[in-house]
Amino acid sequence: MTSKNKYKYLFILGVLIAAGFALADSLGFFNPKPYTAVNHGSHNHYVPENRDSGVGINKFPMEEPGPREIITPTGQIVRKDKWESQQADSAAQKP
């Protein structure tokens, strides 16, 4: 194998690796936050991963939640402890 062929295959391998990282990043594998910023014209809406698909993007907040806050599936920003207690209460009420 000539050195020209080696460089060609190394270049193709490099492009494939870069494309794999770009795809993984676009799918959110490197996003540590439980929400994603969705571009909506000249501004962003912050949408949680567990979004209610019946709620429009425009119903979600345009500012990021604070460190002790969470965005609900319907678009409200609430305190984490309040949200967790509501979820525990609703799980306890189900038979």
Give residue 1's pLDDT. 67
| Full-model pTM | 0.66
* Dihedral over Cα of 28, 40, 47, 94: its sign: negative
Taken as a whole, the chain contains a residue count of: 95
Mean pLDDT for back-to-back runs of 10 residues, the chain (95 residues):
86 96 88 86 91 90 91 91 83 71
Distance CA 29, CA 25 (A): 6
**Domain residue ranges in the chain:** 1-30, 32-79
Under a CB-based contact definition with an 8 Å cutoff, are residues 75 and 61 in contact?
yes
- Burial per residue of 58-90, b for 16 or more beta-carbon CB atoms within 10 angstroms, e otherwise: eebbeeebeeeebbbeebebeeeeebeeeeeee
